[in-house]
Structure 1
Amino acid sequence: MIAIFGLLLGIVLGLVLEPTLPAMLQPYLPIMLVAAMDAIFGAARAYLEGTFVDKVFVVSFLSNVLIAALIVFIGDRIGVGAQLSTGVVVVLGIRIFNNAAAIRRALLRA
Structure 2
Amino acid sequence: MWLPLLGLMIGILVGLLIPVKIPIAYAKYMSVAVLAALDSVFGGLRATLENNFDHIIFLSGFFANTLLAAFLAYIGDQLGVELYLAAVFVFGARLFQNLGIIRRHLLKR
Question: How does the TM-score come out when normalised to structure 1?
Answer: 0.86
Aligned pair in 2 of structure 1 residues 23, 95: CA closer, same or farther (>3 Å)?
Answer: same
Which residue in 2 is equivalent to 1:97? 96
| In structure 2, C-alpha distance between the alignment counterparts of 1:15 and 1:100, rounded to whole Å | 25
Paired-residue identity, %: 38
| In structure 1, C-alpha distance between the alignment counterparts of 2:24 and 2:92, rounded to whole Å | 25
Instruction: Identify which range, 24-33 or 35-44, moves more after superposition.
Output: 24-33
Unaligned runs of 5+ in 1: none
Which residue in 2 is equivalent to 1:32? 33
CA shift, 1:68, in A, is: 0.3
Which residue in 1 is equivalent to 2:57? 56
| In structure 2, C-alpha distance between the alignment counterparts of 1:101 and 1:16, rounded to whole Å | 32
Paired residue total: 108
Q: Deviations over 1:16-41 (max 9, x none)?
A: 22222244422211111110111011
RMSD after superposition: 1.8
Q: Deviations over 1:60-99 (max 9, x none)?
A: 111111000001100100110x2x1211111111111221
CA shift, 1:105, in A, is: 2.1
Q: SS state of the match for residue 53, structure 2?
A: coil
Q: SS state of the match for residue 61, structure 1?
A: helix
Which residue in 2 is equivalent to 1:77? 78
| In structure 1, C-alpha distance between the alignment counterparts of 2:16 and 2:64, rounded to whole Å | 27
Question: How does the TM-score come out when normalised to structure 2?
Answer: 0.86
CA shift, 1:4, in A, is: 2.2
- Contact kept in structure 1, 2:28 and 2:84, CA below 8 Å: no
